[in-house]
Amino acid sequence: MNFRPLHDRVVVRRVESEAKTAGGIIIPDTAKETPQEGEIIAVGSGARDEAGKLVPLDVKAGDRILFGKWSGTEVKLNGEDLLIMKESDIMGIIG
């Protein structure tokens, strides 16, 4: 990809949720919620603190993350639907 996010922003690809429940019930597309899990594709260089020093991000490309339901801005890059969000919108890394 030839897109690099700036500052403390990251590019995320949504990861589709399971189509079945743990009990084996198949969830139809109309009942599924938008996935709140994703994989980081690209990260910015980091934010600057009050002194102007660059503070790198805690996440890196390839990390699987959880984010808020309304987080990020949806964009289409190279025909793929992606999200651009600030690092502060990320709730955590799935380990």
The per-residue pLDDT for 23 is 72
Give this prediction's pTM. 0.77
48-85 per-position pLDDT tens digit: 999 999 999 999 999 999 998 889 999 998 899 999 99
Confidence check: pLDDT of 34 > 80: no
Closest by Cα among 59, 9, 10, 67 to 38: 67
Q: Between 20 and 25, name the one with better pLDDT.
A: 25
The per-residue pLDDT for 21 is 56
Termini Cα distance of the chain: 25
Structure tokens at 81: 């639907």
Q: Between 32 and 90, name the one with better pLDDT.
A: 90
Structure tokens at 51: 């002194």
Identify the three-state secondary structure at position 4.
coil
Q: Domains (ranges, CATH) in the chain?
A: 9-16+30-93 (2.30.33.40)
